[in-house]
């Protein structure tokens, strides 16, 4: 097994770089501006008539919003995880946790994850492990990750671009696809496949759709770029060429929804509650914000809660403006695509819901 100290140092690097550098590439940064929801000038509902609540893996969320997988596994990250956990518990939302590999290997690091259930006994919590590690883990290791956060589901992240670019990477997912059904049976909670910034295509989703997976977390391009993050850790310029690699989040949601009825989490470059509403209109069930919450989470749970409350209210307002009484109605609201997203949809044969 790879060394735990290396994993800890890497995790700290990622947080430091994500907090201090621009890690969002220009290319698809404004992709959500290219999705326009059709405005309803005379809605039949007011703000108090709107219900944003949703049921995910048997848990009722006040809104379909989670904080994306980021951290844990290095000393000090328990504070960040604790602040996120406290905020999502109060807001009635959910969270993903960062890769648990280091804590599965080294039990003295478990506290950086165990803090989550202490602070968030009721929130939706998603465990997290990387593809290259899962391949080599025993059934007991997988179960330990789930138990550590009393997870409602497990996310297995696919991060090939990052594995290729990081000097200590393990760019080999061979055999994982064939192992997925076995893993789903073993872990005892629903399993999601998650990307980390390059998105998931219709073709990949179609192959994975026949597995016993519960769904997909798109992790699309246009938000945090691990090519930019790894570029800052390297001494050469290898990573620069890949800074805007990947399927943009908007396109990835539409691609997956065109072939699958499973749960879709929208992640990668969402900025606010209007982007959240747009993600749901084009096919997502849940939306996720990662890096926008990192700075607030390093400060306090109130800062995280402040951001999430604003997103919830913006989502609610957008639902009034589209006459969407509940999340089911928002999923049927019409939209129009412009620019790059229109070009992507046309060339890939994806049909937007324009009426
Ligand atoms: C500092 C940092 C650490 C992350 N670590 C993980 C991780 O351990 N596992 C994972 O699946 N995704 C990880 N991600 C990816 C996020 O979950 C998310 O998919 C990505 O950042 C896109 O969302 P954003 O644009 O809102 O940041 C990390 C992101 C950041 C910023």
pLDDT tens-digit readout, 232-242? 999 999 999 99
What is the secondary structure of 151-191 as a DSSP string? -SEEEEEE-HHHHHHSTT-----TTHHHHHHHHHHHHSS-E
- The full set of domains in the chain, from first to last, is 4-347 (3.20.20.70)
Cα 194–Cα 216–Cα 265 angle in degrees, nearest 5: 95
Q: How far apart are CA 34 and CA 307, in angstroms?
A: 23
Distance CA 161, CA 300 (A): 32
Burial class (CB in 10 A: 0-12, 13-18, 19+), 37: buried
pLDDT tens, residue by residue, 183-227? 999 999 999 999 999 999 999 999 999 999 999 999 999 999 999
Compute how many other C-beta atoms are within 10 angstroms of the C-beta atom of residue 236.
7
Which has the closest alpha carbon to 144: 117, 110, 120, 172?
Answer: 110
- Looking at the DSSP assignment, which residues form a beta bridge with residue 90? none
Atom 12 (ligand 1) nearest CA: 69
Task: Output the CA 68–ligand 1 centroid distance in Å.
Answer: 6
Beta-strand (E) ranges in the chain?
Answer: 35-37, 54-56, 59-61, 65-67, 94-96, 124-130, 153-158, 191-195, 215-217, 263-267, 286-289, 335-337
Could you give the count of Cα atoms lying within 13 Å of 312 in the half-sphere of its Cβ? 24
pLDDT in tens, 295-327: 999 999 999 999 999 999 999 999 999 999 999
0.85 surpassed by pTM: yes
Pocket of ligand 1, beta carbon within 6 A: 14-15, 18, 68-71, 98-99, 128, 155, 157, 194, 196-197, 219, 223-224, 267-270, 289-292, 294
């Amino acid at each position: 097994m790879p060394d735990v100290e290396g994993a800890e140092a890497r995790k700290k690097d990622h947080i430091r770089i994500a907090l201090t550098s621009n890690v969002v590439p220009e290319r698809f940064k404004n992709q959500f501006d290219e999705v326009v929801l059709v405005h309803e000038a005379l809605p039949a509902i007011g703000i108090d008539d709107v219900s944003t609540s949703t049921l995910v893996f048997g848990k009722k969320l006040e809104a379909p919003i989670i904080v994306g997988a980021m951290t844990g596994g290095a000393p000090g990250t328990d504070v960040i995880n604790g602040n996120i956990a406290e905020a999502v518990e109060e807001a009635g939302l959910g969270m993903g946790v960062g890769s648990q590999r280091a804590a599965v290997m080294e039990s003295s690091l478990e506290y950086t994850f165990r803090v989550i259930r202490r602070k968030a006994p009721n929130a939706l919590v998603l465990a997290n492990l990387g593809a290259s590690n899962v391949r080599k883990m025993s059934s007991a290791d997988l179960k330990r990750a789930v138990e550590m956060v009393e997870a409602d589901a497990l996310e297995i992240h696919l991060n090939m671009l990052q594995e290729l670019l990081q000097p200590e990477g393990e760019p080999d997912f061979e055999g994982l696809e064939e192992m997925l059904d076995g893993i789903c049976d073993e872990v005892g909670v629903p399993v999601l496949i998650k990307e980390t910034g390059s998105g998931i295509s219709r073709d990949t989703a179609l192959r994975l759709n026949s597995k016993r997976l519960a769904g997909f977390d798109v992790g699309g391009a246009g938000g945090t770029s691990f090519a930019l993050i790894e570029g800052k850790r390297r001494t050469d310029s290898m990573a620069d060429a890949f800074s805007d690699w990947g399927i943009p989040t908007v396109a990835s949601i539409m691609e997956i929804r065109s072939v699958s009825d499973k749960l879709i989490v929208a992640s990668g470059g969402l900025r606010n509650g209007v982007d959240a509403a747009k993600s749901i209109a084009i096919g997502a069930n849940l939306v996720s914000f990662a890096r926008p919450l990192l700075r607030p989470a390093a400060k306090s749970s109130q800062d995280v809660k402040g951001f999430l409350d604003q997103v919830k209210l913006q989502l609610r307002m957008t639902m009034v403006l589209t006459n969407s009484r509940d999340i089911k109605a928002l999923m049927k609201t019409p939209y129009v695509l412009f620019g790059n997203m229109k070009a992507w949809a046309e060339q890939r044969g994806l049909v937007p819901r324009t009426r």
